[in-house]
Amino acid sequence: MNLGVIGYGTRIKSVIRSLQKEEPACKVTAVTDIRDSIVVEGRSEADEPVRFYRTPEAMMAEEKLDGILIGTRCSLHTEMALKVLPTGIPLFLEKPVATTMEDARRLKTGFEAGKSKVVVSFPLRVTSMVQLVKEIIDSGKIGTVEHVQAFNNVPYGGVYFHSWYRDEKETGGLFLQKATHDFDYINHILGLRPTQVCAMTSKQVFRGTKPAGLECVDCEENRTCADSSVYGPQKTSGWGSCSFAVDTGNEDSGSAIIRYETGMHASYSQNFFVRRSAGKRGATFIGYKGTVEFDFMTREVKVVMHHTPRVETHLFESAEDHFGGDLVLARSFIQLMREGGESASSLESGLSSALLCLKAKESAQTGTFQDISWE
């Protein structure tokens, strides 16, 4: 099974490992990446020979590919996807699927006219924990869900201020980087259409007066700074820009309230300066009959019945690669390449989540409620 890669980045390398774990016949045979030399350095002698192309068009014209994976930086996801969609070749697309409203509309049009089946990199929706929560809710056990409280306290949040992720022109902001996953699994569990959102962001921690362009390794405070990438708890071999410089982008916390078509609403909050065991990610779904809650970090799903003295607890064994979700997406992509069928994480879902994130961002910037529509 011959794979072509557009943007051979760290995340796509992880996806390829999951694909090859599920199906060793999956082999990267062609790559389009502006950093050919870096790609070559990262491969071993045991790897299959790979051919490099300057453009995706040239790669698709010359190669017989069973699937294509897009792992470029975020701002190019839409542009590259639009090149693949008309071909009918199965596509694995990294999130966010778009970083601007203009790109989201273009991608929607391309998707509706295109031929390729797509798996979007939304591993959380297919984890065992989320699937169990959905099963419990779909059974009617807790009644109709009438309120959702979701959270993501990110213990590795320094990456969004040290690395290229700090460039908001590339990321589109942190709703699109992180909340897109959470909005997707919430929408998936509920099976409801979001109709309106209001949101707020703040930047209280990762800001400062250090000079633009300052690298951690060059800073005189890199031995005492708690966020130092050279000596501190966030040590990463010295790479990284200063998190407290004048050119540090991105909000460091954000919240959104989402109204759904039934009239119920969900609240969501994320922040990027917690550390260690303060990290948590999950949600609470509340019905009249009961409550079901889960946290990816503790790997626990708990069901509390409101009118009987009963609590059920489900504890999941540890799973790597996005809590086991990466392997499920890998199986789905392999199935698309072999047999067709339906994606476990469709582009339609990716577009819905991106639209919600973009509207939340606009709400935070303007201080207004935003309707969730393509108008």
**Residue 349 falls inside a structural domain:** no
Query: pLDDT for 273-326, tens place per residue?
Result: 999 999 999 999 999 999 999 999 999 999 999 999 999 999 998 767 778 899
Backbone conformation region of residue 96, classed left if phi is above 0, alpha if psi is from -120 to 50, else beta: beta
Using 50, 70 and 90 to split pLDDT, how confident is the model at 23? very high
Query: pLDDT for 89-113, tens place per residue?
Result: 999 999 999 999 999 999 999 999 9
**Residue 198 falls inside a structural domain:** yes
Do residues 116 and 157 share a domain? no
Do residues 6 and 40 share a domain? yes
Proportion of the chain above pLDDT 90, given as a percent: 86
CA–CA distance, 290 with 171 (Å, rounded to integer):
38
Residue 36 has a pLDDT of: 67
The two tokens of residue 350 are 């990716």
Domain that holds residue 170: 125-319+355-371
Count of beta carbons in the 10 Å neighbourhood of residue 108: 20
CA–CA distance, 121 with 130 (Å, rounded to integer):
15
Using 50, 70 and 90 to split pLDDT, how confident is the model at 250? very high
For strand 147-153 and strand 280-286, is the pairing parallel, antiparallel, or unpaired? Answer: antiparallel
Cis amide prior to 49 (ω within 30 degrees): no
Residue 242 has a pLDDT of: 94
Do residues 210 and 109 share a domain? no
The answer to whether residues 360 and 197 touch, using CB atoms and an 8 Å cutoff, is: yes
Residue 35 has a pLDDT of: 76
The answer to whether residues 197 and 363 touch, using CB atoms and an 8 Å cutoff, is: yes
Buried b or exposed e, range 165-180, using 16+ CB within 10 angstroms: bbebeebbbbbbbbbb
Residue 115 has a pLDDT of: 96
The mean pLDDT value for 223-236 works out to: 81
Do residues 160 and 81 share a domain? no
Amino acid found at 270: Q
Q: What is the tally of structural domains in the chain?
A: 2
Do residues 290 and 207 share a domain? yes
> Is 208's pLDDT higher than 90?
yes
Query: pLDDT for 25-55, tens place per residue?
Result: 999 999 999 876 566 555 555 567 899 999 9
The answer to whether residues 67 and 89 touch, using CB atoms and an 8 Å cutoff, is: yes
The one-character DSSP state at 244 is: T
Counting beta carbons within 10 angstroms of the beta carbon of residue 276, is it exposed (0 to 12), middle (13 to 18) or buried (19 or more)?
Answer: exposed
Do residues 168 and 283 share a domain? yes
> Is 258's pLDDT higher than 90?
yes
Do residues 138 and 84 share a domain? no
> Is 153's pLDDT higher than 90?
yes
Residue 236 has a pLDDT of: 66
Q: Is the four-CA dihedral 207, 210, 216, 221 of positive or negative sign? A: negative
> Is 372's pLDDT higher than 60?
yes
pLDDT averaged over the chain? 94
Do residues 151 and 116 share a domain? no
Residue 321 has a pLDDT of: 72
Query: pLDDT for 230-241, tens place per residue?
Result: 886 767 665 789
Of the listed ranges 197-201, 215-219, 331-335, the one predicted with least confidence: 215-219
Q: List the CATH number of the domain containing 164.
A: 3.30.360.10
Do residues 83 and 173 share a domain? no
CA–CA distance, 312 with 63 (Å, rounded to integer):
53
Amino acid found at 225: C
Q: List the CATH number of the domain containing 10.
A: 3.40.50.720
Residue 180 has a pLDDT of: 98
Report the first-to-last Cα separation within the chain, whole angstroms.
41
Residue 56 has a pLDDT of: 97
Do residues 174 and 97 share a domain? no
For strand 51-53 and strand 27-32, is the pairing parallel, antiparallel, or unpaired? Answer: parallel
Using 50, 70 and 90 to split pLDDT, how confident is the model at 13? very high
Residue 43 has a pLDDT of: 58
Is the pTM higher than 0.85? The answer reads yes
